[in-house]
Amino acid sequence: MSLGGKMATKISYINNRENCNTTRFLPNSAIRFRDRHLLIDFMLLLRLISMMKVERAVRESDHQTITAFGFALPAIVCDFSSSEGNFLPMAPWVAPIVREGTFDPTLIDAIYKKQNITIATTVFALGKYTQFLKNFLESAEQNYFVGFRVHYYVFTDLPELVPAVKLGEDHHLTVLTVASSNRWQEISLRRMERLEKLIESQLVNEADYVFSLDVDTKFYGRWGAESLGRLVGAIHPWYYKTHHDWFPYERRPESQAYIPYSEGDYYYGGAVIGGLLKDVYQLAKTCKERLDIDAAKSIEAAWQEESHLNKYFLYNKPSKLLSPEYLWDDIKSKPQEIKIIRFSHVNKNYYEVRPNP
């Protein structure tokens, strides 16, 4: 059976297995949404609407216009007409923007725990980046999908430096040895290829969801089932207040990652990619193919795989967006609109950890 067939069968089985468990949390009028992710996202949207006045979130302004039959470019994620600078509750295509206060952690974890799911998590720790593994894993064990089945897959060229971290119940770690590289850009460019091959060869039989996370990071707060969805992107912490014309998209038309100035919605960080196996596989496969086309023309996109990720998300909208709570940067101070920092890049000297400038 092909990979697509295997995943379709697996996902169909999971969805059928879950229907009886999830629908009882919803009113009768919502039971027609048989897909699990529509059910969960529908619940999340109900909570968002109950918390905020929809009129304020959807009214026309210089930054965003939502109509009954379409959407305009959002430009920025926050509604700065209020003194707090509140995040908008959803993207124009009605994908929830997950942040503190928009979900009930006990309820949403209980729903997903009934599904008996496994979350695969990949990290790439090559060269001196192995020094970040201990903090990453130890902080993950305190905050990341606690109480769920998690399997970490560590790609590294120095397997002997992978630390022995005590893992929680139903948490496992597999070390995958890969070749070294003299360019950090090459390490970044190979990420999509390695993710695609791992899903194809191994994860299809072992996991239900997959997240690919940067290793030079640390968890500071809960990261749980609220982050699960068909296809999940994280809004970049440095660009959520920036108009899309100023996003660092790839602007050269000859690149497969090209996005013209007239297009764009959000800028997504490449440090977090997630979703169902089938959807992440398609993302990784498409980005890898486009990276290969660029390479054949000696083109390297402005921000390597992150540029291609943003191009993919522009035309294949994520079903769920994680606010910058889920992708922060330690060198950036926490503003009022960010209620909690859950996951963040750690402060470091790039000249010391990267193999080349």
Binding-site positions: 129, 214-216, 236, 306, 329
Q: Name residue 235's beta-bridge partners.
A: 268
Per annotation, catalytic residue among 141, 300, 305, 306: 306
- Among this protein's residues, is 206 annotated catalytic? no
Phi, psi of 173 (to 5 degrees): -140, 130
Of 126, 133, 134, the closest CA to residue 155 belongs to 126
Report how far Cα 226 is from the mean position of its chain's Cα atoms.
12
Of 155, 156, 175, the closest CA to residue 164 belongs to 175
Q: How far is CA 136 from CA 93, 122, 163, 169, 258, in A?
A: 33, 12, 11, 18, 33
Of 70, 77, 75, 61, the closest CA to residue 93 belongs to 70
Answer for the pair 257, 209: CB distance below 8 angstroms, yes or no.
Answer: no
Amino acid identity for residue 296 in this structure: A
* Cα(238)–Cα(77) distance, integer angstroms: 12
DSSP per-residue string spanning 185-204: HHHHHHHHHHHHHHHHHTGG
| Helices 277-296 and 304-315, packing angle to 10 deg | 120
The set of residues, in sequence order, having a beta carbon less than 8 Å from that of 248 and lying 6+ positions away, is 239, 267, 302, 303
Query: What positions carry a catalytic annotation?
Result: 306
